[in-house]
Structure 1
């Protein structure tokens, strides 16, 4: 498989898992009144341990190598707390104070921060295709979650604040681990980052009672841990080994598309023509980003 095609498959699949986890999280918050920070803690802790356990079987010699050099330790700590923890906690807080579509719109400002950072740090103008993809993805996301009506977004000050920080967190999550991923497997980088990111809220495991033993509740938590956290983050970071951060950030737009599809089939939410247009615009970024690879292979 061509590296760029492989990266496209990874980031799209990861976006689907992440979008589904946001929908499940909103269901848990509204139905069972689950505390968002407790869910952040349990998902990071469990997913991090699972990834490190996997890495201990597949790459046992590299499991602790990441801690040997001061540069790697510093990069891992930055990624853990500024990228992993920030993107997780702020996104769930934005969902809790608003809703999943609102959090998605605000978090999707992340690609704008990515392109702005890359442009500034490398002293280069953004590519024309990146500008088109930013415009199409933002317009598509807006149409998808609002049906073209801005009044449908209920933005409390808390939801607005946490959503904007989630966009910054998403950009940091994409940019910070790139050097580490060149030298270590994604499972090790993500596993340690999740485990470290769980530390600030570890006290919640001892101060808050466990949720009620209900199958839908724990089934939702399990889905968020395994698919919405472990696999989605691992696939997202694996894609960075084959794609630029701008491309990876753009294709994370599959998150709102997934959330909308789940709302249709699981919650019987009507789907308007404007929403269909928004989904088509988001999907079009996939083909635009794949064009350079197609030209290069001819």
Structure 2
């Protein structure tokens, strides 16, 4: 799942750095596990991608806003009194939030959670390229290396080193790249909203609006699939642990760690998705898959080091 862009809320010397590390790792691992749970639902329980996306957005949005209602009551409703904020949150809710959720789930359905998560990890590289173009400046050395590694890693992941065939389906590649672009839009579009209203308000309303909008395409009461004990537990895990608790853990970690540190530690998401896919769903991951994933995830380290250096200079 794409992580919300935010900033450090505060640092309290009474809490240890280890607490922040534990929180971000918990959130990232829960995101990775929820991706694998979604893979189980699509492949074993035949749950519909559209229904799961709609239900997850509606349920998670209601839970997130409800959880923070007493604490953030004025901010939750205040965003609708801001004309520019109102237009921006509607755009984010109708395009950004459902876009990143649906494309990620569609990529999982056509492949597996590990591959989908790695492809979505190309998002930071797309953001880097967009910002370089938008600011009309040449990319720096670290950015060039990150882009080169991302391209090479994706090549290994989808071709296994052969230019004559794809090791994944065309739909997997399509939805995986769409997921990366959606993650980039999801991160860049609501920046002003996040600075003014905070992540809880923006993401909570984004989920609720996105779920309501998608309901016109696939109503949440049109359910398809096998609802066994295991599938119900998986759906509950995705909503409660893979969305709500993971999001809260990630937000809390930013009280103790810098944004660049959390983005590096959050690479535990694709690692946990890959490991659980191997153990639980017996997904085969070959040499080129590991190499491709390593190259793509290394770009996050490279770009985070750059961000940390830049922030230190400013």
Partners of 2:42 and 2:49 within 8 A in 1: yes
The one of 69, 90, 111 equivalent to 1:56 is 69
The one of 261, 269, 273 equivalent to 2:275 is 261
Q: Which moved more, 1:57-66 or 1:29-38?
A: 57-66
Q: What aligned pairs does 1:96-115 form with structure 2 within 5 A after superposition?
A: 96-115=109-128
User: CA 1:228 to 1:83, structure 2 compared with 1: closer, same or farther past 3 Å?
Assistant: same
Using the alignment, how far apart are the partners of 1:139 and 1:16 within structure 2?
Answer: 26
The one of 3, 15, 20 equivalent to 2:33 is 20
Does 1:200 pair with 2:202?
Answer: no
User: CA 1:35 to 1:286, structure 2 compared with 1: closer, same or farther past 3 Å?
Assistant: closer
Alignment size in residue pairs = 293
TM-score w.r.t. length of structure 1: 0.78
Partners of 2:153 and 2:293 within 8 A in 1: yes
After TM superposition, give the deviation of residue 282 of structure 1 in Å.
Answer: 5.7
Q: Which runs of 5+ in 2 are unaligned?
A: 1-6, 12-16
After TM superposition, give the deviation of residue 42 of structure 1 in Å.
Answer: 0.7
The one of 208, 212, 216 equivalent to 2:230 is 216
Using the alignment, how far apart are the partners of 2:162 and 2:38 within structure 1?
Answer: 25
Partners of 1:147 and 1:274 within 8 A in 2: yes
The one of 90, 94, 107 equivalent to 1:94 is 107
Whose helix proportion is higher, 1 or 2? 1
The one of 232, 240, 243 equivalent to 2:259 is 243
The one of 149, 155, 158 equivalent to 2:169 is 155
Using the alignment, how far apart are the partners of 2:148 and 2:250 within structure 1?
Answer: 22
Partners of 2:158 and 2:173 within 8 A in 1: no
Q: CA RMSD in A?
A: 3.9
Q: Which moved more, 1:101-110 or 1:247-256?
A: 247-256
Does 1:40 pair with 2:56?
Answer: no
